[in-house]
Amino acid sequence: KDSADDKSSISSSLYSFATFMARGVTSTVKEAVKAVPELLGEDSETTELLNPIDDRPLSIAERDAIILMKAYCPRQSTPDALVGQCLAKGFGRCMASSSPPVLTVDGVARGIDSRLTNNGMEAFGIPHAVRRIMLENAREYHTVIANCPTMSIDDLIKAMKENILSEEMLVRLLKWYPKYARLNNPRRDKSLRLKEVIRYHKENYSKGGQSSDAEAEVHQLDSIFYFAPQRMSKKLPLPETVFPQSLVGSIGLRTLEDRHFTDWFQPLPFDIWTGFISEHTCMRNGNEKDDAMRILVLVTLSKHFDSLESATAKRRFVELLPLSSPCLPFDITTSDVNLSASNTKTAVPNELYLPDTDLSAFSGLQTFYKASKRLKKEGVSDAFLLAMGVRKTIKIEFLFLHLDTLNWNENPKPLIKYLIDADLSQQDLLKLRSTRY
């Protein structure tokens, strides 16, 4: 009835005709959408994601709207459905300039401004969405007369620009998108644009329970590039560009590995994680409180080192490690007043010896520190420790310096054993032959 004055008689006549037609449709209103069968041959979760549950009963306004809309689609009163569709198109042409109204979840809107549901997209706050129950009750009105557009990826992008998702809704969206993409195959540029605009609240669990939206930290999904592989321990620190393990557990690693997320996320390359962990406090500061984490990190690094096949790959990997930082724990066998209290637990790799190294030939000369036996017990290999710079034998310079200070004639066996194990150059051998021994 809000048409121009010269069309008021048409609008009035149409409304009167609709009221007359409505007398025969009051008993045909569907109260609920029938259960949707499982789609794509998958589980019930897929069905619910693509067809969100909407079990809210019809309101009085919705029932009245359905009756009125059905009156414009008199298919049941005609001998053929095509006749009813032609009548519906006729009504549509009469109201072409005003775009017939429909009832959406946000109230009354013009058909051109409303959006019909599309495989579960309605769950993410698309404005002016038409409930599925309303569409099922007056499909011809929505699709032919009002000509309501179906939700598209552009509508979702616009909604994500205006809204900030909770973690719960972010998890739902990431579970839903691959299933939607299999059915609709969105363009690559649209897919990337969607990721760019998604924001979410990062809930602060350290305060106990979920925080309010006002307190929650807002994050951009576009700042996340990786997810941790399954083989990586969930206790390890991760860069900010990696999905938090709590979210991965809710989303599912298999979902993140889906081909439709190839442009969104990739498995975390180990070299990138190595570069990150090498700058972490547990590997830089040698604090006692980080001891358990430090051991876990070293075990992880050692396993990766041992899995590398070529010497070049191993050398390049070792170059990423914090070799000049006190990152290796050691066992203290004797007291040393020269060590400060803060460094009594860790040391630089080249200051330590392998746990099983026999240094009895040099006992009494100085205090030697060996890498902690816990490393070997937890699975850190000697090959990895040697690659980091841990020593198997003392430096040959140290031997020459103290060669005349001990009486080797009493028990030369430790010295002989050391010389067998030592990596002596030709110059070292020549120098050794020049001694009185």
Burial 266-282 (b: 16+ CB within 10 A, else e): ebbebebbbebbbebeb
- Model pLDDT, residue 6: 41
Contact 101, 148 (CB under 8 A): no
Round to whole Å and give the CA distance between 137 and 67: 9
- Model pLDDT, residue 212: 55
Round to whole Å and give the CA distance between 420 and 412: 12
- Model pLDDT, residue 72: 73
Is the pLDDT confidence value at 316 over 80? yes
Round to whole Å and give the CA distance between 73 and 143: 11
With a pLDDT cut of 90, the percent of the chain lying above it is 46
Is the pLDDT confidence value at 13 over 60? no
Is the pLDDT confidence value at 404 over 90? no
Round to whole Å and give the CA distance between 84 and 74: 5
Tokens of 153: 């990826």
- Model pLDDT, residue 39: 43
* Choice among 88-97, 118-127, 268-277 with the minimum mean pLDDT: 88-97
Is the pLDDT confidence value at 321 over 90? yes
N- to C-terminal Cα distance for the chain?
A: 116
pTM for the complete prediction?
0.74
328-357 pLDDT, tens digit each? 999 765 544 454 444 447 999 988 988 888
- Model pLDDT, residue 189: 93
Round to whole Å and give the CA distance between 303 and 301: 6
- Model pLDDT, residue 377: 92
- Model pLDDT, residue 88: 61
Q: What is the mean pLDDT of residues 412-432?
A: 77
Contact 382, 391 (CB under 8 A): no
Q: pLDDT grade, residue 22 (50/70/90)?
A: very low
46-70 pLDDT, tens digit each? 888 998 888 889 899 999 888 888 8
Distances (CA, A) of 63 to 138, 317, 361, 364: 11, 68, 96, 96
Residue 321 DSSP class:
S
- Model pLDDT, residue 326: 92
- The total of other beta-carbon atoms located within 10 Å of residue 286's CB is 22
- Model pLDDT, residue 206: 43
- Model pLDDT, residue 37: 47
Q: What is the mean pLDDT of residues 221-247?
A: 92
Q: pLDDT grade, residue 214 (50/70/90)?
A: low
Q: What is the mean pLDDT of residues 1-10?
A: 42
Name which residue leads in pLDDT, 45 or 15.
45
- Model pLDDT, residue 417: 76
With a pLDDT cut of 70, the percent of the chain lying above it is 76
Is the pLDDT confidence value at 93 over 90? no
Name which residue leads in pLDDT, 75 or 40.
75
Round to whole Å and give the CA distance between 353 and 382: 10
106-136 pLDDT, tens digit each? 999 998 999 999 999 999 999 999 999 999 8
- Model pLDDT, residue 97: 62
- Model pLDDT, residue 77: 53
